[in-house]
C-alpha cells in the first residue's frame, strides 16, 4: 500500500492532493517497451539517455493533481451519456456503461508542470534521440501521477464506504476530446496550473484529466481493449508493449 497522501479541500469541495515526484511509481521497463525495445535489449547509449531523462524529470517535474466530487449517473433515456455535475457528457457506450451505476464522479486533473516539457523541447533541437526519449518519459510520469491520484481517490472514497471505477478521459473509447471544455468547467479556472486551448489541448501537454465513477455498486475492472475500436490509444499501446516484454499489471 503506497503511503497515505494529504489533501486540501476548498469550500466548493475541490481537493488538491500533495503528490511529489518521489511518490510516483515510474515504470522504466514500461518506457523501454513503449520505445520499442524488449526489457534489457535497449542499446547502451539509449539506456544512458533514458537515465539522463529520468534524472531531469526528477529535478524538473512539479506534479500537481486534484479532483472534485460531484453527483453523477446515467443521462435520462440514454445509454451512451452521463450526467455529471449537472452537465450531460456524450461519453459513448463504453464509458457510460462503466460509470452508469455511479452515484458520484471524481472530476480529476493532473499535470507534471511546464519545466520538464520546456527542457524536452529544447533538447529535441540538439539531440532528437534524447528529445524523443524525454517525451516518452514525460508521458510516463504523467500516467504515473494519474495512477497515484487514482489510488488516493480510492483510499479516500473507501473511508466513506464507496468504491471507484477505472479512470476515463475525453479522447478515449469514442468520447470526444472536445468535451474537455465541459469537464474543466466543473473545476476552478486554472486548476492545478492547467490551461485549456480552443482545440481542447491541455497546457502543459503532459497532463491528464477525466472522470472516475464513485459509489456502492461500481467496480474497477481491467480495460477491455478488445471491445474498443480506437487503435491509437495510450492504454492499448501500454498493454501491447508490456505483453511483448513479458510485463504485467494494468494501468488505471
* pLDDT per residue as tens digits for the range 127-161: 999 999 999 999 999 999 999 999 999 999 999 99
The pLDDT tens digits of the residues spanning 10-61 come to 888 899 999 999 999 999 999 999 998 876 689 999 999 999 999 999 999 9
Rounded mean pLDDT, 170-183: 95
Which of 162, 161, 132 shows the shortest CA–CA distance to 50? 132
pLDDT for 246: 43
Give percent above pLDDT 90 in the chain: 76
Residues 6+ away with beta carbon under 8 Å from 72: 82, 83, 84, 85, 99, 102, 103, 104, 105, 211, 213, 214
Structure letter (DSSP) for residue 226: G
Model's pTM, two decimal places?
A: 0.88
pLDDT for 3: 74
Q: Where are the domains of the chain?
A: 7-244
Where does the pLDDT of residue 77 fall: very low under 50, low under 70, confident under 90, or very high at 90 and above? Answer: confident
The continuous run of DSSP H or E covering 130 comes out as: helix 128-158
Domain 7-244 has CATH 3.10.180.10: no
**Taking each helix axis from N to C terminus, what angle separates 234-244 and 128-158, rounded to the nearest 10 degrees?**
100
Q: How far is CA 59 from the centre of its chain?
A: 21
Question: Any alpha helices (H) in 100-217, and if so which ranges?
Answer: 115-126, 128-158, 180-184
Amino acid at each position: 500500500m503506497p503511503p497515505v497522501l494529504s489533501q486540501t479541500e476548498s469550500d466548493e469541495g475541490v481537493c488538491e492532493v500533495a503528490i511529489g515526484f518521489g511518490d510516483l511509481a515510474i515504470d522504466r521497463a514500461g518506457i523501454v517497451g513503449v520505445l520499442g525495445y524488449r526489457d534489457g535489449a535497449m542499446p547502451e547509449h539509449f539506456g544512458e539517455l533514458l537515465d539522463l531523462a529520468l534524472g531531469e524529470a526528477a529535478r524538473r517535474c512539479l506534479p500537481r493533481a486534484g479532483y472534485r466530487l460531484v453527483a453523477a449517473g446515467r443521462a435520462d433515456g440514454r445509454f451512451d451519456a452521463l450526467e455529471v455535475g449537472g452537465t450531460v457528457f456524450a461519453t459513448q457506450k463504453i464509458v457510460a456503461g462503466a460509470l452508469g451505476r455511479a452515484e458520484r464522479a471524481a472530476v480529476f486533473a493532473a499535470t507534471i508542470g511546464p519545466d520538464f516539457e520546456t527542457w524536452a523541447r529544447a533538447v529535441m533541437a540538439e539531440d532528437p534521440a534524447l528529445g524523443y526519449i524525454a517525451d516518452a518519459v514525460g508521458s510516463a510520469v504523467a500516467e504515473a501521477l494519474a495512477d497515484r491520484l487514482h489510488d488516493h481517490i480510492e483510499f479516500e472514497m473507501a473511508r466513506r464506504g464507496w468504491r471507484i471505477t477505472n479512470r476515463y478521459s475525453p479522447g478515449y473509447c469514442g468520447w470526444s476530446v472536445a468535451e474537455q471544455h465541459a469537464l474543466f468547467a466543473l473545476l476552478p479556472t486554472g486548476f492545478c496550473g492547467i490551461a485549456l486551448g480552443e482545440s481542447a489541448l491541455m497546457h502543459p501537454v503532459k497532463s491528464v484529466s477525466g472522470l472516475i465513477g464513485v459509489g456502492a455498486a461500481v467496480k474497477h475492472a481491467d480495460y477491455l481493449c478488445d471491445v474498443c475500436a480506437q487503435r491509437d490509444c495510450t492504454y492499448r499501446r501500454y498493454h501491447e508493449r508490456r505483453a511483448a516484454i513479458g510485463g504485467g499489471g494494468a494501468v488505471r
